[in-house]
């Protein structure tokens, strides 16, 4: 890639849980702030992240590697890693609700932006947020149910952009 060609980043967001909602918005807002043309393609379970009211929850059962930390108490207490067995987190009623509340409290305590704030930052930085039309059709989503400033994917629009990013200037490993 020549130095004078604009840098581009294509991100696919296919997960809609709270812990999986952060990476695409953080990466997109950071890239855009660095002057990189950025598009995020939301498909399948990532698509609800484009709705005005994001109701994402943490799902520790789906992510057993997720550390469980306490957002309150003395620093020593906060630094403990609470190894919750997968068998418990997957079957204990209300565990997802508790884990979601703890993560939201931790994020707020650490001064990290909310998913909604990160999405707004992406829009302010001209990140193109693209909803997958096929997923909308499959799940019966209507355009009017989504954030007013999102762009619907006209078939094959994102793949063309992704193809233009075949030789990325940034590689994530």
List of domains in the chain: 8-56+114-164 (3.40.1260.10), 60-109 (no CATH)
* Residue 149 or residue 53, greater confidence: 53
Tokens 């550390």 belong to residue: 67
The confidence score (pLDDT) of residue 31 equals 95
Average pLDDT of every residue of the chain = 79
**Two tokens, residue 144:** 């009017």
Q: What is the pTM of this model?
A: 0.78
The confidence score (pLDDT) of residue 10 equals 86
46 by DSSP, 3-state: which?
helix
- Determine whether 49 is exposed, middle or buried from the number of CB atoms within 10 Å of its CB (0-12, 13-18, 19+): buried
The confidence score (pLDDT) of residue 8 equals 86
Query: Is 62 within 8 Å of 33 (Cβ atoms)?
Result: no
Contacts for 114 with CB less than 8 Å, ≥ 6 apart: 104, 107, 108
Contacts for 109 with CB less than 8 Å, ≥ 6 apart: 71, 72
50-150-54 Cα angle (round to 5): 20
Mean pLDDT, residues 52-64: 77
Say yes or no to pLDDT of 82 above 60. Answer: yes
pLDDT band at 34 (very low <50, low <70, confident <90, very high): very high
Say yes or no to pLDDT of 165 above 70. Answer: no
CA–CA gap between residue 13 and residue 129 (Å, rounded): 10
């Amino acid at each position: 890639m020549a130095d004078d060609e604009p840098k581009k980043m294509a991100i696919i967001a296919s997960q809609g849980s709270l812990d999986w909602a952060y990476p695409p918005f953080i990466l997109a807002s950071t890239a855009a702030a660095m002057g990189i043309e950025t598009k995020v393609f939301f498909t399948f379970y990532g698509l609800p992240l484009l709705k005005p009211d994001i109701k994402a929850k943490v799902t520790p059962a789906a992510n057993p590697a997720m550390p469980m930390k306490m957002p309150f108490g003395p620093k020593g207490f906060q630094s403990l890693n609470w190894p919750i067995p997968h068998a418990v987190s997957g079957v204990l009623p209300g565990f997802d609700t508790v884990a979601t509340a703890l993560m939201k409290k931790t994020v707020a305590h650490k001064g990290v932006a909310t998913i909604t704030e990160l999405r707004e930052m992406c829009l302010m930085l001209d990140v193109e947020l693209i909803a997958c039309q096929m997923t909308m059709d499959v799940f019966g989503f209507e355009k009017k149910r989504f954030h007013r400033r999102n762009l619907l994917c006209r078939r094959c629009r994102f793949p063309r952009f992704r193809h233009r990013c075949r030789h990325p200037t940034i590689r994530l490993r």
